[in-house]
Structure 1
Amino acid sequence: MSVTQIDLDDDALTAVMRASGARSKKEAVNLALREYAQRKTRAAAFTRFYEDAEGWADDMVADAGRAHRVEKAGRGV
């Protein structure tokens, strides 16, 4: 862990401490940093999933249509 001297927004720090139950400024800042990093990581994962999922519905409809045509052809309809 590194030692860093920074100016903090007292109101924001108080709000974090109150909301989280943190008992020290250090605990509140570390908690806020971890929460922020986790939120950004989750958002990036969601974005990757969404980008990967684009077109899935179209693919599924096309696959269902192909399966239906194959089944229909197999029955001689």
Structure 2
Amino acid sequence: MRTTVDIPEELFLEAMKLTRLKTKTDVIKEGLTSLIRREKLKDLKKYKGHLNLEIDLDDLRKR
């Protein structure tokens, strides 16, 4: 998909320097991937301490 956006050049240069990525496309892909991963983890953290799986390891070993 082609999209035109106005992003400050210094942001790209810093991101490319820190990540050692060679193209602006790669920087954008990495940024979007990181953003998606972070938001998914944030959503999963809502369940911390709320799931009780009641796993019995002995029963699992017998299977």
TM-score after normalising by structure 2: 0.69
Deviation at 1:9, TM superposition (A): 2.0
TM-score after normalising by structure 1: 0.58
Larger fraction in helix:
1
The equivalent residue for 1:8 is 7
Unpaired runs of 5+ residues, structure 2, are 53-63
Q: How many residues align?
A: 52
Highest CA radius of gyration, 1 or 2? 1
- Give the superposed CA RMSD: 1.8
User: What is the rounded CA distance, in whole Å, between the counterparts of 1:14 and 1:52 in structure 2?
Assistant: 43
Q: Identity of counterpart residues, as a percentage?
A: 12
Q: Does 1:23 align with 2:22?
A: yes
Structure 1's consecutive aligned runs of 4 or more residues displaced over 4 angstroms after TM superposition are: none
